[in-house]
Amino acid sequence: MKRILSGIQPTSKIHLGNYFGAIKQHIELQEQGECFYFVANYHALTSVNDPKTLRENTLDIALDYLALGLDPEKACLFRQSDVPEVTELTWLLSTVTGMGLLERAHSFKDKVAKGITPNVGLFTYPILMAADILIYQSDLVPVGSDQLQHIEMAQDIAGYFNNTYGYVFKRPEALLSPTPKVPGTDGQKMSKSYHNTIPVFAEDSALRKAVMSIVTDSLPLEAPKDPDCNTVYRLYELFASADEIAEMRNRFLSGGYGYGQAKRALLEKIDAYFAPARARRKELASNLDYVEQVLRQGAQKARHEAALTLKATRLACGLDT
Query: Phi first, then psi: what are they for 49, rounded to 5°?
Result: -115, 5
Please state, in angstroms and rounded to a whole number, the distance separating the CA atoms of residues 65 and 269.
21
Active site residue 282: no
DSSP per-residue string spanning 258-283: -HHHHHHHHHHHHHHHHHHHHHHHHH
Marked catalytic residue, from 13, 24, 74, 189: 189
Q: Check if the beta carbon of residue 253 is closer than 8 Å to that of residue 224.
A: yes
Of the CA atoms within 13 Å of residue 176, those in its CB half-sphere come to: 9
Residue of 111, 225, 263, 269 marked catalytic: 111
User: Alpha helices, DSSP H only, in the chain?
Assistant: 16-18, 24-29, 41-44, 51-67, 85-94, 99-103, 106-113, 120-123, 125-134, 148-165, 204-212, 231-236, 242-254, 259-285, 288-317
Q: Of 13, 24, 74, 192, which residue is the catalytic one?
A: 192
Listing DSSP states for 218-252 in one string gives ---TTS---GGG-HHHHHHTTTS-HHHHHHHHHHH
The verdict on whether 192 is a catalytic residue reads yes
Residues forming the active site: 111, 189, 192
